[in-house]
Each structure stands twice: as structure tokens, then as C-alpha cells.
Structure 1
Amino acid sequence: MSPQAAAARPPEWIAAEEARERLGVRAQTLYAYVSRGRVQVRPDPRDPRRSLYRAADIAALTDRKSRSRKVAEVAAGAITWGEPVLTSAITTISGGRLFYRGRDAVELAQTETLESTARLLRGGHGAALKRTDRPPPPQAGDMRSRAFLALATRAGADPPARGRNPLALAVEAATLLDVLTDAVAGQVGGGAIAGRLALAWGQGPGGPGADLIRRALVLLADHELNPSTFAARVAASTGASLAASALAGLAALSGPRHGGAPAAVQGLAREAAAVGPRAAIAARLAEGRTVPGFGHVLYPDGDPRAQALLERFEPPPEMVRLQSAVGAVTGLAPNVDFALVAMSQALKLPDDAPFALFAVARCAGWIAHAIEQGQGGGVIRPRARYVGEAG
């Protein structure tokens, strides 16, 4: 080989400084690679006090780190409104529409109940099954506290779901919906869930208010892999009971960036009533805050659930003015959070009714996802990308 060719060939061994620079690590990490046998090392013949590191090993580690970063970037992107990460046959959002097992949720809301929708989400088999020997709901001052207590009590006593007979799970699933409804309503009741909630909130069980509640429950029953449903599936992946999975879902739903969103809409409505809709919107935009109740990442052309509800009743005038002002300033259409608040105000429901409706309705989806996860999925256990101090 000519001297020129030898000089052009990359060195087989490189100094520690260059090895660390190529890897982007500190000296301790380089030494750790050596101790684990992932990088060969030898004394520098020109200075025995120094070490040289095999360049090919450093290149292999660099390539692996690069590929790992790409995988990590894909995984990180999937967590927040990204690509699907779990397979499911329950719900999808396609073309700006919401489908439960291939059926349009808006069309289902025309005629179905939450109970029939829950059976559809679970697989559509069997009659309406439930046990009638339900205990009285917990004694607590508000609907939210009673809901948590009711599910926690069941979670502490019910057996694991994994390995159970499908019929037994179907009975438990239907009963669990009733238990949560009892907690929200404050009493054990019979009949359709929508009618029981309507009666508890001062609406005639067969009147227009009850029908609106029924429609809302169907439209809210599931929404693909949202945070609370993901939490429920994580719990179910461990074999936890249906009640424990539902409790995990309720815990995630309670956050202000999920099931607490209607409360933010109520806050915006109060601001708009105090200073006027345009001034309230302008103040939020000037502060870099969002306008709650409007726009949805998955529905760029408008939330069909909101439209399906808003066209069935006359919102209060102040909510109409708020909707018009937000549309004029931002171009955003109302989402289901706005529709729930407007509906609750129109029917004079309790302030926490939007959250209660979300919880009762979405429990049907949590249970369906928990059953599906338990039937075929493994334990959901992602890895963390460590960014702390090296050991």
C-alpha cells in the first residue's frame, strides 16, 4: 500500500477525547462502555499512560445511538396526538367522524341508549345484563366524590378481570355502569341510565331534557385512545378488575386538561359575561392562553359531537354570543366541551353535570377497552428515555 493510501485510511484506534466527541458522552460513560466489553481499548504505543479506543466499536455505538434516537423520536411523537400505538377494534376517528365498531356515533345518538352503546363497544353480543342487588351509593357531598368512592370500593373487592368467563364480565360491566350512575344520581335507581340522571337533575324522565342527556351519553361513550382510556388500558393490561381499570380512567379524566375542560369553558363564559365576549377572547389571546371549548386536533372541520348536540336545543343567548365571537376572532368551531356546558346551562343542570356526564358515558368505553386489552394484549410497559445524570 502506498504511503498516500495509508495516510487516507481512517485510523483503527483513536484517542479518548475523539472517542468521547464522536459518542457525545462524558469520560465516565466511555469507561462504562469499556468495562461492559462494548469498546476495545489498548495502551497508546507513543504514550503508555494514555489509552486508545477501537474506532470500529465507537462507530457501531454511534450508529446504534442514532437509530435509537430515531425510534425514540417516533415513540415520543406517537404519545401526543401522533401515530396509533395500540391495535383496537372498538373506536376510530376517520374523515372527521367518530365511529363505534364501524357505526357512526352521531347516527347512533339518534336512537340508542348508553346501555346499548356499551354493549356495542364491548362486542355487541348478549342481552342487557345487570345485577339488581346494588348497595346504596357512598355518602358524600358531591357527585364527583361519590363517583370516586363507588369505583374505589368496587376496585378493592372485585376479582381480576383476566381469565374470567365472558358472560361474567358482561354482567360485571353492566352492573359497574349502574353503580357509577347510582353514585352520580345519589340513589339506587331503575330504568335507563339517561332517565335516572335526568330525574336526579330535575328533568322529566321522558322529556326533551332526558333525550338530550341520552344523546350526550352516547356521543361521549368512547373517543379512541384518549388519556383516560389509555390509563384504563394500562391498568387492564396488568389483569386488574374492570372496576380498577375504570377507576384509573376516572382519575385521568379528573384532570383540567381532560374531563375538567368543561370547567374551563364555564370560566370563559363568566369572563365573557363580565367584560364582553370579544374582550374576554382578546385578553386570553394576548396572554397566550387557549380559548377552551373551541377547536379539536382530531376534527379540523369541526367536532361532529358538538354539532349533533347543539342542533337539538336552543343555547342560552350569552353562549350564542360567545360562540359567534370566538368564530369571528379565531375561526374555531365549538367542540363537545362547549356543547356540554351550553346544554347544562339550557337545562339548568348542576355545575358539575358536564363532568358527571363524561364520567358515566366514558365508563362504557373504559370497560370495553379493558376487556379488549385483557383478551389479547400484553402488559403495557413503555421505556423511559433517561435524560438525567449518568451513573
Structure 2
Amino acid sequence: MIHLINMKEWVGLAEALGLLGVKPQTLYAYVSRGLIEVRRETDARRSLYRMEDVATLARRRGRSRRPSAIAASSMSWGEPSIVTAISTVQRGRLIYRGLDAADFSHNATPEAAAQLLWDNKSDVIFAVPRSAADTGFLALAALVPKSEALIGRSSECLCRDAQVAIAHLAAACRVRPGAKLLHVGLAELWSLGRDEADLVRQALVLIADHELNASTFATRVAASTGAPISACLLAGLSALSGPKHGGAAMAMLRLLDEVAAVGPRIAVQAWLDRYGFLPGFGHPLYPNGDIRAATLTSKLTVDSLMRELQECVLDTTGTLPNIDFALTMLVRMAGLPTSAPFTIFLLGRSIGWAAHAMEQACSKELIRPRARYDGAIPTSQVKS
């Protein structure tokens, strides 16, 4: 088994003050307002402060207070900007509608995750059609002209629309018609045993939603215009296809090829020199390690190549594995095709996309931020 090493979770008074650049009285005010969690001791100088809370406040204090700068910073791991009841990440925990997602994933199916995230009382069934498009893009694009706009449709209708769209995605991923459950359909496709099938099930549930990630934001923008659910999922898929999002696991496999060829230290340094980051490691929302990766890898057997890479990255950068690392482990252990991580990511995350499309439709608000223009301005005066 592989064990993820936790980074420092608590810091002392002196370190907290140094990171924040404040006096003790200000730190105590943050604690009293619930902004920083504390482990209290009789002597206040020996109390410990949660590192994640301290780091979050330090980043916030370091930003410019100009409204334009605040708005710009919110677009890149900044302050929450869209209200949602679907999911969040707080203090290292992924939460689905009030439930701990890691705990939920131990026994839940993707269909149960959809029922929870969609806040749907009826059972969810993805009835995979017989005709299948060549890709998920074509499957969703074919549905758009035949689909109805989000505006004015009941929650029951929206849930049915979502089930149809995701079923067509599953067909495009070559899940056979008549498969009762998504993970069972994938297990049949990849000829998996019961244990491997259960790992795919858990991965689908853990990936189902992750707050306001890039593809989910794209989905919500489309939904805010009233576009059909199939079009909203197509927007999400377009964002997911990028190498910094759904393509990260494929990049992780390429990194492993380099590790096998030249060794972990040379490969890691070369990758950092070329790209400035390492696929499969680190996540801004999980300073102490991605809980999704920790949950999934606790059931996986790591091979020596991935172990060497993990140890080298921890020693070199101090970062821990994320969900893309875990999916890569699953691929190597179960002998899945290299396309499997993207398939799992697509089918799992489409459940969350549908939830956000429905929630955005209920808000009736158009997402339309303003741009901060830094181009040239005409010198001629406008005639009155």
C-alpha cells in the first residue's frame, strides 16, 4: 500500500504571526471571529493554529484592496464568487451537500452520487442507448438541437435531461447498452474483476464534483444563458479536454515514461524546467494532501516506479499526490487503457456538471463579468 505523508497542519504563535505579519491581538481577533482554528493551551504562547487557515488569510492580506484587483484575483483560486449548496472543500475535506465525500464514496454508486448532488428524490438510471457517437463531443452536440432550454423547466425534467445526456456520454465511451450501473458498464468494457470494478466505482464518486473548477465554471456560464443541459455538459467537456484539467493524468503517464528512461530526479527536474509544474502532484485546495487521492490510493498497490517518483517529488518540491496520481496508479494496477483516466473523469464529473447547471438555472442570473482592459485607447475625441 502507499501512504501519503501529511505536511505540517498546525503552527505555533510565532510562526503564525510571522506568516500573517500581524500583532498577537490581531491574530486573537481572527480566532474569535472563526477565521482561524486554534488548539488552545493554558499558556497562549503554546497554542497551535491551523496552517491552512493562516495561509488563506496571509494570501488575502497580500492582495491589493483595489476593487479591480480583488475582482481579478477571484478568478484564480481567489475568494468564493458563486453561491452553491452542491459541494465545497473545507480544511482538507471534500463535502457533498453536507456529507463527507470520502466517507460517502466507500459504498455509494455514481447513480447515488447523482441523486445526492442533483437533490433528486427519484432513483437515477443512466439508460445507455444502442447508437453511439464516436466521441463525447459528438454525442452531446447531436443532442443539443433536440433538447429544450433550461429556462422554465421543472427539476424533474432537468434530471431526466441530465440522465439522457450522461447516458449518451457513456455510450460514446463504449459502455454497452443495458448496463445497469455506470461502473459496472466500465468494468465490463475493461474486463475487470470485482475488486477493480469497485475501485472504478469509488473513483467515479470521488470525482463527481469539486466545487467551482474550470469545467464546472464553464458549465455554469452556459447554464446561465439558459442553454440545454446537453449544451452545458458540452461546455464542461470542452474545458475538461485541456491538458491542465482532464489531460493531467495523460501527462502523468508521460512523466512516468521519462522517469523509467532517465530516473526520477532527472525526469522531475527536466519536467519542472520545461513546464514549471508536475502533473499528478499538489493542489491549492489541499495543502496537506488531496483527500480524494488519499482515499483511493489507500486501496491500491503502488509499483516501485511510482513510489520512487512520489518520494523524489516530496523531497524536491514538498508536494503530495493528487487525484491524477491516484487515477494513474489505478490504470497501472488494473491494466486499464491509457484513455481510462479521462473516461472516468468525464463520466464522474458530468454528474457534477449537471448538478451545477440545474442550480444555476434556478438562480436565473446571467454570469457576465467585466473585463479589465489594458489595451490602447483612441486619442481622438468623441464628437457630441
Shorter-chain TM-score tier: 0.7 to 0.9
Bigger radius of gyration among the two = 1
What residue is the counterpart of 1:75 in the other structure? 71
What residue is the counterpart of 2:189 in the other structure? 200
What residue is the counterpart of 1:303 in the other structure? 290
Question: Given the alignment of the two structures, is residue 157 of structure 1 paired with residue 152 of structure 2, yes or no?
Answer: no
- Tell me the SS of whatever aligns to 2:312: helix
Q: How far apart, CA to CA, are the structure 1 residues paired with 2:100 and 2:235?
A: 27
What residue is the counterpart of 2:160 in the other structure? 171
Cα-to-partner distance string for 1:300-344 (whole Å, 9 max, x where unaligned) = 000010011111121222112211221222221100011101111
- Tell me the SS of whatever aligns to 1:98: strand
Q: Contact 1:154–1:243 (CA<8 Å) still a contact in 2?
A: yes
Q: Could you tell me which amino acid in structure 1 is paired with residue 217 of structure 2?
A: F
Question: Given the alignment of the two structures, is residue 106 of structure 1 paired with residue 102 of structure 2, yes or no?
Answer: yes
**Residues 288/266 of structure 1: CA separation in 2 closer, same or farther (3 Å cut):** closer
Which 10-residue stretch deviates more, 299-308 or 262-271? 262-271
**Residues 133/264 of structure 1: CA separation in 2 closer, same or farther (3 Å cut):** closer
Within-5 A mapping of 1:1-391: 70-129=66-125, 132=127, 134-138=129-133, 140=134, 146-185=135-174, 187-204=176-193, 207-287=194-274, 289-391=276-378
Q: How far apart, CA to CA, are the structure 1 residues paired with 2:125 and 2:322?
A: 33
- The CA RMSD measured in Å over matched residues stands at 1.7
State the shift of 1:126 in Å: 2.0
- Tell me the SS of whatever aligns to 1:92: strand
Q: Could you tell me which amino acid in structure 1 is paired with residue 166 of structure 2?
A: L
Cα-to-partner distance string for 1:146-202 (whole Å, 9 max, x where unaligned) = 111111111222111221122122222222222211211253232110010111112
State the shift of 1:212 in Å: 0.5
Which 10-residue stretch deviates more, 363-372 or 175-184? 175-184
Q: Could you tell me which amino acid in structure 1 is paired with residue 285 of structure 2?
A: L
Q: Contact 2:175–2:186 (CA<8 Å) still a contact in 1?
A: no
State the shift of 1:389 in Å: 1.4
Q: Could you tell me which amino acid in structure 2 is paired with residue 339 of structure 1?
A: A
Which 10-residue stretch deviates more, 299-308 or 376-385? 376-385
Q: Give the percent of matched residue pairs that are identical in Structure 1 and Structure 2.
A: 44
Q: How far apart, CA to CA, are the structure 2 residues paired with 1:133 and 1:258?
A: 26
Q: How far apart, CA to CA, are the structure 2 residues paired with 1:189 and 1:309?
A: 28
Unaligned runs of 5+ in 2: 1-63, 379-384
Unaligned runs of 5+ in 1: 1-67, 141-145
Q: How far apart, CA to CA, are the structure 1 residues paired with 2:154 and 2:368?
A: 26
Q: Could you tell me which amino acid in structure 2 is paired with residue 210 of structure 1?
A: A
State the shift of 1:133 in Å: 7.9
**Residues 111/162 of structure 1: CA separation in 2 closer, same or farther (3 Å cut):** same
TM-score by length of 2: 0.79
State the shift of 1:82 in Å: 0.2
Q: Contact 1:137–1:187 (CA<8 Å) still a contact in 2?
A: no
Q: Could you tell me which amino acid in structure 2 is paired with residue 275 of structure 1?
A: V
Q: How far apart, CA to CA, are the structure 1 residues paired with 2:272 and 2:357?
A: 39
Q: How far apart, CA to CA, are the structure 2 residues paired with 1:286 and 1:371?
A: 42
Does 1 or 2 have the higher relative contact order (CA < 8 Å, sep 6+)? 2
Q: Contact 2:120–2:159 (CA<8 Å) still a contact in 1?
A: no
Q: Could you tell me which amino acid in structure 2 is paired with residue 223 of structure 1?
A: H
Q: How far apart, CA to CA, are the structure 1 residues paired with 2:277 and 2:353?
A: 28
Q: How far apart, CA to CA, are the structure 2 residues paired with 1:166 and 1:99?
A: 22
Q: Contact 1:90–1:369 (CA<8 Å) still a contact in 2?
A: yes
Q: How far apart, CA to CA, are the structure 2 residues paired with 1:370 and 1:286?
A: 39
- Tell me the SS of whatever aligns to 2:146: coil
Q: How far apart, CA to CA, are the structure 2 residues paired with 1:337 and 1:305?
A: 10
- Tell me the SS of whatever aligns to 1:81: coil
Cα-to-partner distance string for 1:36-67 (whole Å, 9 max, x where unaligned) = xxxxxxxxxxxxxxxxxxxxxxxxxxxxxxxx
Q: Contact 2:259–2:309 (CA<8 Å) still a contact in 1?
A: yes
**Residues 200/332 of structure 1: CA separation in 2 closer, same or farther (3 Å cut):** same
Q: Could you tell me which amino acid in structure 2 is paired with residue 162 of structure 1?
A: I
Q: How far apart, CA to CA, are the structure 2 residues paired with 1:246 and 1:226?
A: 14
State the shift of 1:287 in Å: 4.8
